[in-house]
């Protein structure tokens, strides 16, 4: 998904275990769990859908988590939604230590964005991976 896109998460009803269900909390990470951003700690018991816009940049994966709270203040374990990859349209290459490097590229296939894993370039009649091409000095 593109940066600054609103997402909607939907989950099944939870049981309290002991006491009664008092609500849900939702959070996400965009750095593989190094830190989390709390979205809401006050989602009511009748709500099992929540929309928000995660703050993430190109190349990051957003993982959303939800958990239930009971009337005794005890929490369930976090439930994870599938990871969402953040991307921007297009392609970028860069020159790193005199070698052209493929940094990122996406193309739409069958209505879905797909990551391009490598780019080939023809140099002197020979096909090479762009990550292995050292351009001539100018």
Same domain? 73 vs 125: no
Q: How sure is the predictor about 22, in pLDDT bands with cuts at 50, 70 and 90?
A: very high
What is the tens place of the pLDDT at every residue in 101-121?
A: 655 667 777 777 777 776 777
In a domain, 97, yes or no: yes
- The whole-angstrom separation of Cα 26 and Cα 24 is 7
Looking at the fold, whether 119 and 61 belong to one and the same domain comes out as: no
The DSSP secondary structure of 7-22, one letter per residue, reads EEEE------SSS-EE
pTM of the model: 0.67
Q: Are residues 76 and 30 in the same domain?
A: yes
Residue 99 structural domain: 90-132
Kindly report, residue by residue over 79-89, the tens digit of the pLDDT. 999 999 887 76
């Amino acid at each position: 998904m593109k940066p600054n896109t609103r997402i909607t998460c939907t989950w099944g009803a939870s049981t309290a275990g002991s006491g009664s269900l008092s609500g849900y909390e939702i959070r996400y990470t965009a750095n593989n769990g190094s830190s989390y951003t709390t979205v809401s700690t006050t989602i009511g018991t009748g709500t099992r859908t929540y929309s928000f816009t995660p703050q993430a940049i190109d190349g990051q994966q957003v993982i959303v988590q939800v958990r239930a709270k009971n009337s005794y203040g005890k929490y369930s374990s976090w439930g994870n939604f599938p990871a969402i990859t953040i991307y921007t349209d297009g392609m970028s290459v860069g020159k790193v230590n005199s070698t052209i490097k493929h940094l990122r590229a996406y193309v739409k296939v069958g209505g879905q964005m797909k990551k391009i894993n490598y780019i080939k370039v023809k140099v002197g009649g020979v096909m090479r991976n762009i990550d292995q091409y050292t351009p001539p000095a100018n």
